[in-house]
A and B are shown apart, each in its own frame.
Chain A
Amino acid sequence: MFQARGLTKVYVMGEVRVEALRGVDLDLYPGELAVLLGPSGSGKSTLLNILGGLDSPTGGQVIAAGRDLTQAGERALTAFRRQVVGFVFQFYNLIPSLTARENVAIVTEIAEDPMTPEAALDLVGLGARLDHFPAQLSGGEQQRVAIARAIAKRPRVLLCDEPTGALDSTTGVRVLEVLERVNRELGTTTAVITHNAAIAAMADRVILMADGRIQSVRTNPERVAPREIHW
């Protein structure tokens, strides 16, 4: 599904030069649920952003769903994001002026074969809160809207950046359940970034990152159900 080779990324932020990725090789396989685990600053988010076409690497190559993202222009990247990937962010990033239903609709309207916003919200257990604005929803509910928004276009890959980072444990587990269900029922390749080691138990594979490099990759013999995870 994804094939990254020799990825490097250097940020120049203000007067500081940050080497976020120092040569990463990574594969993601169709239908798997992978967890990228690592402390903050280890380069997880940068890697995810590059895989999703939100950012471009300084060096190296990414082949995603048969396309070379590193060679893709703005138009091709836009099409890639529109058709292939769904994103879930740590801070939900809902559009505050739109209701839950409309936040999903903003994506389904430009997708090729989407579910209805109602179906997507039903899938994440928010069928009853369709017309609430983000400000009227709890953090966990907002994140579930964000997940509904990400899966509504039936993406082949779901990329989640610290989806539970801003949530308490109980709410976080509910969000993970939704992710697990989507992965299982829709067969969507799912990559979850977290610094929370407990979450790694629900993955098919766990990729450990530190200092911009992949330290190790391990395969879980068995996926643990999210409701059995605590932190």
Chain B
Amino acid sequence: MSALDRKLWRELWNQRGQVLAIAVVIAGGVSTLLMSLATLDSLTLTRDAFYRDYRFAEVFVSLKRAPESLREPIAAIPGVRQVETRVAAAVNLDIPDFADPATGVLVSLPERDGLNQLHLLAGRLPEPGRDDETVVSQAFAEAHEFEPGAHLSAIIDGRLQRLTIVGIAVSPEYIYQIKPGDLFPDFARHGVLWMNREPLARAYDMDGAFNDLLLTLTREGRPKDVIERLDVLLEPYGGLGAIERSDQLSDRYLDAELEQLAGMARLIPGVFLGVAAFLLNVVLGRLIGAQRDQIAILKAFGYSARQIGGHYVRWALVIILLGLVIGLGAGLWFGLAMAELYRGFFYFPYLEFSLRPPVIALAAVVTLGAGLTGTLAAVRRAVRLPPAEAMQPEPPPRYRPTLVERFGLQRFLSQPTRMILRHIERRPLKSLLSILGIGLACGILMVGRFQEGALDYLIQVQYGLAQRDDLTVTFSEPTSRRVVLELGARPGVDWAEPTRQVAVRLRQANASQSTAIQGLEPDSRLRRILDDRLQVQRLPAEGLVLSDQLAQLLGVGVGDRVEVEILEGRRERHRVVVAGLVREFTGLSAYMDLEALNRLLGEGEAVTGALLAVEPGARDRLVAELKAAPRVAGVTDRLTAIQSFMDSMTEIVLSFAFVSTLLAGSIAFGVVYNDARITLTERARELATLRVLGFSLGEITAILLGELALLTAIAIPVGFGIGWGLIALIVRGIESELYRIPLILEPSVFAFAASVILVAALLSGLLVARRLRRLDLVAVLKTRE
């Protein structure tokens, strides 16, 4: 090993605290990038593999009833590769020891080599001919701790039938298992049950017929063309309008989630890595600046600029590589953990973990690029000076009275305070970089925390102010309003309101979107329409009120007309004016006055559901009564639904928040600590001189840390601004059609970020103060004239 290399390793070892702090900053950026991209890649890869291996269909359609003989004309549609017919039905479930209302969907088992194959996780498929055996979805089974052999009952065609669970499975069709119309998944109260086709067909009068259809397409097949022909073909059979895969509920939600994750994966690591790179550049630059005299000596001995540059580049490389290795390890670990968490959330049967070499290369290139630019710039500065000059102490810096003093306020400033202020003002760029560094660290700390508060806010607005019903009752078919009055008269019900929900497809020019129009009483108490400032809006007597998200998708504004295709009954098309827009965080909702909707549908006072406010103690009894009531297709309990979703969502959000807070915290500490250490190196002589002149240890500590404290105090509000900007960027980046996160920053977000910075500053201050105590006065004063 050459003497220069030995110098390298010894100095790295002596500076190990700082080296580690810088490496941690790098690791923070790198691991966030790897974690996000690995999670995203793994989930995308897993989804694609699952779709392929289990032959997920590409076109889906539900209908009332069509004969099996229709298969042939459907298969003859150009572009169709494989056709699968099914029998499917929505049912109410009765689960032992579970009082809450639960619904399910019964689906006939896929044909051999058919589409939407099941991945059996436990047990077996129902034996042919059995009408009392079922395979249930994993999410549902886990929520109730069902094992093969467990029992539950379903109301199949009006008759309560006892079923034995013989298997537990996942399907590409229900990766995101959510009840149509619901915002959040609720695994305990909604399940998927697969059964043999014959008993289902018998029960629902589907012998030799089907009410659900799946297609895959040939390579040349265009979904739009196929859907158009299919809809024409199925219209006489009550077809509800075919959809392509991207509109299929599970895929749509999954896609929105992945889209959101992709937004995060691009933005947050970009921010982290960018911050880390910036800091690396600054810190390495300053560290090399402090070696100015050593560089001069090496030059005096005849080392060339290239050799000296090489030496410091190696020095920086070691630190960067250390950071990369830590970051790679941590990123891999976090990525695997996050992907596993998501796998459970989405119910994928397996996980294809992927960390692509280009991702690692990207992290390495960005980090090396940033680190080496900082290093080289500093080395070039140091090498450019003639050695004789570099060996001289720097010329006395040009101090001047600070702005405050020029205003004549100096009598209020002590001598040390003046030193602090002048020092900061003399090197405005360096002070600015320090402030920016600490501010960036503060900003990314906020990024890690804001989601939690924003989700709370979203829930509060959506469920505290807008949707205020305790129970939502869905009728099996349109019913008279009298039923709602009867519900309202039941003991324990405080208030009941009717709703009418109808599936529609909205079109404007080339844009089209499937959704449901919800008809409400104009002065509904339990489902309120809120404007930007959370003020309750009254529903207009005519016309549609759209969520701004939906209006944007369709490209319409207030006063425009949209085509409404009713997806039930006579399937009429109408042109309806958009009477208002409403800002909502979730979903693509459309609202209409109940009477206006009834007029549009050409029916009397029909309703499809009721919203109930109930007395707290009466809930369980009412749920039990309503489940048994005729015409009731389902009872949804709002609070429990939110609760269960929040539980699963919180785990993911909090894991992410924990990891990013950890990383942001280490970056923050790395920045503050390095800043303090380098300042100490740069000012050791000056401080030692003061000690010799009779200043106490406390006084010089105050001078050094006073500067740090002042910079930190300025940096925190700057950081708040940076954080707000970053979060605004992220909120825009992850907006999806399913929900967007409001740009709401709770005071706790600010408080948290500021506290971490303050703790980091305090710790760094203590560490540096300890070094200050060990400052060898004589040695410091002797080294240079």
The interface of chain A, by Cβ under 8 A from chain B, is: 13-15, 45-46, 49, 52, 54-56, 74-75, 78-83, 87, 89-91, 93, 95, 97-98, 102-103, 105-107, 109-111, 149, 166
Contacts and interface: CB of A to CB of B under 8 A. Distances in A.
A54 B387 contact: yes
Given A103-B3, A109-B3, A93 B301 contact: no
Nearest to B13: A97
B293 interface: yes
Interface of B: 2-4, 6-7, 10-11, 14, 293-294, 297-305, 307, 386-389, 391, 395-398, 782-785
A81 B299 contact: yes
B566 to A, nearest CB: 82
A14 B398 contact: yes
Contacts of B14: 97
A102 B764 CA distance: 34
A93 B397 CA distance: 23
Identify which of B294, B297, B301, B387 gathers the most chain A CB atoms within 10 Å of its CB: B301
Contacts of A80: 302
A12 to B, nearest CB: 9
Given A82-B301, A97-B10, A106-B3, 13 more contacts: A49-B387, A55-B388, A78-B299, A78-B305, A82-B303, A87-B300, A91-B782, A91-B784, A98-B3, A102-B7, A106-B2, A109-B2, A149-B301
A110 B302 CA distance: 8
B11 A97 contact: yes
B391 A89 contact: yes
A45 B785 CA distance: 13
- Report whether over half of chain B's contact residues are helix, strand or loop; otherwise say mixed: helix
Given A13-B395, A49-B388, A166-B782, A54 B300 contact: yes
Contacts of B395: 13-14
Given A75-B304, A81-B301, A109 B386 contact: no
Contacts of A55: 386-389
A102 B389 contact: no
Given A89-B391, A91-B785, A81 B300 contact: yes
A87 B387 CA distance: 12
A179 B293 CA distance: 25
22 contacts: A14-B398, A49-B386, A49-B388, A52-B300, A54-B386, A56-B386, A74-B305, A78-B302, A78-B303, A78-B305, A83-B302, A87-B300, A90-B785, A93-B391, A97-B11, A97-B14, A102-B6, A106-B2, A106-B4, A106-B298, A107-B302, A110-B301
B396 A14 contact: yes
Contact of A91 (B4, B6, B302, B783): B783
Contacts of A78: 299, 302-305
A83 B302 CA distance: 8
A198 to B, nearest CB: 21
Nearest to A165: B785
Contacts of A107: 301-302
Contact of A105 (B3, B299, B303): B3
B572 to A, nearest CB: 86
A78 to B, nearest CB: 5
A119 to B, nearest CB: 16
B391 A82 contact: no
Contacts of A109: 2-4
B754 to A, nearest CB: 39
Contacts of B293: 93
Contacts of B303: 78, 82, 110
Nearest to A92: B783
A13 B392 CA distance: 11
A75 B305 CA distance: 9
A95 B294 contact: yes
A15 B398 contact: yes
B14 to A, nearest CB: 7
A16 B300 CA distance: 26
A95 B297 contact: yes
Identify which of A89, A97, A107 gathers the most chain B CB atoms within 10 Å of its CB: A97
A195 to B, nearest CB: 13
A75 B306 CA distance: 10
Contacts of A105: 2-3
Contacts of A102: 3, 6-7
A81 B302 CA distance: 5
A91 B294 CA distance: 13
